[in-house]
Amino acid sequence: MATTYRRKPTKAEIRRQKMEELVMFPIDWLEERSGLIGGLKYFLFRNVPSDINWMQTLGSAALTAFLVQAITGVILAMYYVPSADINPRTGKPIAWESIVNITDHLTLGWLVRGMHRWGASVFIILMFLHMGRVFLFGAYKYPRELNWIIGVLILVNGMMEGFTGYLLPWDQTAYWATVVGINLNGTAPFLGPWLAQFLRGGQEISGETLTRFYSLHMLLIPGLIIGLITLHLYLVVRLGVTSPPWSKEAAGGEPEEEDGARLRPGLTRPVPRPSGASAMQAEPGGQE
Amino acid sequence: MEPEQPSPDTEHESLPEETHLPSPTLYPIGFAIGIVVLLVGLIINPLLISSIGAAIAIVFAILWAREATAELRGEPVVVEPERRESRATAADPHGVTLEEVPDNAVTRSVFLEGATLGLGAAIGGLITLPVAGFAVLPGFLGQTQHKVDLGPIEKFPLGKWFISTFIVDPAEGEVSRRTVFLRNNGNVADPETKQQVPSFTIISNRCVHLGCPVQANGPIGQKYTGTASFKEHTLNGPVEFQSVIPAGYGCPCHGGQYDPEGNRIAGPPVRALDRYDFEINHGRLVLLSTYSVSKVVGTGGQAQIYKYKDVGPGEHVDGPEQFFYPINPPHH
């Protein structure tokens, strides 16, 4: 960050400049080797229509809700035990006891479990609101159809998270709700009985169903959702944000590019240009 | 190709190569030697040798750190340029001899591309198939039938209903607890052999709508039924028998209703309640697997039942809807 001074810089200014250089050094180091800072800046400071409104924050809100679920879920997994066995000392199932332990005995366990339990509903509700906004704004139309499809897949995966997570407390509600849910799947024509048996991991709900649902709930489905969210965001950045339907802005308009020196995005100081470079560039077919 | 404005990227690439080469340094080696001396000294002579090792390590660490931060501190960085033999000649300025290759030739790059894709697919398949099989197959194969011993048959008074709960698989524990409604029908002539054989009505309490537990509608216990409840200690652990006079069975989840023989009389269920097969083994009643029932005609020992293969709740076993479920997963 070379600043030009007309007068001799004061000591404070020199110190400030040194501090800036110290801060920028690792950032520039990373950017020069990875381009990650430029990518982040491109993502955060990209242009969006000037007349977007608060409705268009619902997607980010749903993403935030998912991140809350991911973080609280990772912490809950440190204390939860997915075992249908009976604890011989207490006569209660171990999975259920570990939930009671989280809720009643561990410091702040009630809070984190509550965040996960209520956040699940928040995530689903926000996804539906986001979906409604996209529908009402017509944001699913060309060229964004694929992003609608990916969004629907995220919604389906989110609901599977709800279904598999509901069994984990291993109480009467959890057990019978899952019995009904799996048998509901089982009544689907042709493949239904096979799907139900796959979900149960056998003919009857057992301890294997619990561990299976736990694995699906915390490993497989979250992985799928993270992958789908990445694709979803990639398409959002690539295709841009839609204007509201009442927008007066012309569709498809691109802001005029400013002329002048183009810095690589993210680089905070210009890359020094060696004297021999222009000769190499001029050679026809030499570089490209 | 026209010479273009240098784009930021090409400008970046065209920097003198030496600025990207880390300068060779021996300081890390000296640091490592210091650490080794320190560790060896811990065994031989902690006071003297370890101190020497620590000193070496510290000195080289400082030198290493100074050199690594030279650029940050604004000192000139001395780097050696990369040297490479040039194969370029006057006739071939790029040092590459191009040969004519026929269009359909399998060049080395084509071969390597195919080999990479093929090997990748083979390795991927070798890993994925067993893992996917392990995820899916155990739930379908090797499902074992568990026999449940309910005790001697003389314990059951003729024509009286009992609610019985028991554990199907002691190894699996409480999660395999099941409930049946059970009645001794006395001896009945076997339709094939014409011999008198014991007959029991054993109805599963799994609702055939979506699998909730149906309850007996009627008085339970000796005080209201006049029949004693009892407990049996069997191979499957303790089994409870509560006397009951069922006017029918009702499901708490979605209101399905059945008559005492298990026929659907109201609500969403699609067939009659499932029943257990049984055998009499040395005078003891032993439950086998369940079978599905569409409709029971008659009552008790005279009831006529067509046994269907055991299917899941909500599945039709007869009528046109049965064709929605042409192949069911393997059962015990």
* DSSP letters spanning B61-111: HHHHHHHHTTTTTTPPPP-PPP-------SS-TTS-------TT---HHHH
Q: Which of B6, B172, B176 sits opposite A277 (nearest CB)?
A: B6
- Looking at residue B235, its pLDDT comes to 85
CA distance A94 to B173: 12
Contact across the interface for B8 and A271, Cβ inside 8 Å: yes
Question: What is the number of other CB atoms lying within 10 angstroms of the CB of residue B179?
Answer: 18
With a CB-CB cutoff of 8 Å, which residues 128-157 of chain B face chain A?
136, 138-140, 143
Provide the token pair at B105: 């030739």
Provide the token pair at B77: 């960085």
Contact across the interface for B312 and A196, Cβ inside 8 Å: yes
The whole-chain average pLDDT of chain B stands at 86
Give the residue, B20 or B87, on which the prediction is more confident. B87
List C-alpha distances in Å: A201 to A204, A229, B12: 8, 29, 56
Q: Phi-psi region for residue B200, left (φ > 0), alpha (ψ -120 to 50) or beta?
A: beta
Q: What residue of B is the nearest CA neighbor of A195?
A: B329
Provide the token pair at B19: 């600025």
Average pLDDT over residues B262-288: 94
C-alpha distance from A170 to closest chain B C-alpha (Å): 10
Confidence of residue B332 (pLDDT cuts 50, 70, 90): low
Provide the token pair at B56: 């070496």
| Model confidence pLDDT, tens digit, residues B202-222 | 999 999 999 999 999 999 999
Domains and CATH numbers, chain B: 21-76 (1.10.287), 148-324 (2.102.10.10)
CA distance B37 to B45: 10
Closest to B273 measured CA to CA, from B206, B180, B200 = B206
Q: Phi-psi region for residue B123, left (φ > 0), alpha (ψ -120 to 50) or beta?
A: alpha
Question: Residue B212 corresponds to which amino acid?
Answer: C
Residue ranges in chain A whose pLDDT is less than 50: 255-271, 273-274, 276-288
List C-alpha distances in Å: B222 to A6, B152, B155, B233, B240: 106, 20, 15, 20, 14
- Looking at residue A144, its pLDDT comes to 94
- Looking at residue A262, its pLDDT comes to 46
User: Residue B179 pairs with which residues in a beta bridge?
Assistant: B165
Tell me the H-state helices in A107-144: 109-136
Closest to B314 measured CA to CA, from B250, B276, B274, B271 = B271
- Looking at residue B178, its pLDDT comes to 93
CA distance A134 to A144: 10
Confidence of residue B120 (pLDDT cuts 50, 70, 90): very high
Does residue B72 register a pLDDT over 80?
Answer: no
CA distance B100 to B102: 7
CA distance B327 to B313: 15
With a CB-CB cutoff of 8 Å, which residues 115-174 of chain A face chain B?
none
Interface predicted TM-score (ipTM): 0.75
Q: Phi-psi region for residue B244, left (φ > 0), alpha (ψ -120 to 50) or beta?
A: beta
CA distance A240 to A229: 16
**Residue that the structure tokens 């619902």 belong to:** A58
Domains and CATH numbers, chain A: 7-46 (no CATH), 54-239 (1.20.810.10)
**DSSP string computed for B156-207:** S-BT-EEEEEEES-TTTGGGGEEEEEEEEEEEEE-TTT--EEEEEEEEE-B-
Q: What residue of B is the nearest CA neighbor of A194?
A: B329
- Looking at residue A175, its pLDDT comes to 95
Q: Which of B3, B176, B210 sits opposite A184 (nearest CB)?
A: B210
Contact across the interface for A190 and B326, Cβ inside 8 Å: yes
Give the residue, A112 or B196, on which the prediction is more confident. A112
Q: Judge if pTM exceeds 0.80.
A: no
With a CB-CB cutoff of 8 Å, which residues 203-262 of chain B face chain A?
210-213, 253
C-alpha distance from A220 to closest chain B C-alpha (Å): 12
Does residue B1 register a pLDDT over 80?
Answer: no
Query: Is A202 near chain B, with CB under 8 Å?
Result: yes
Does residue B98 register a pLDDT over 70?
Answer: no
Contacts (Cβ under 8 Å, ≥6 apart) of B164: B150, B179, B180, B181, B182, B239, B240, B241, B242
**Residue that the structure tokens 């014409």 belong to:** B194
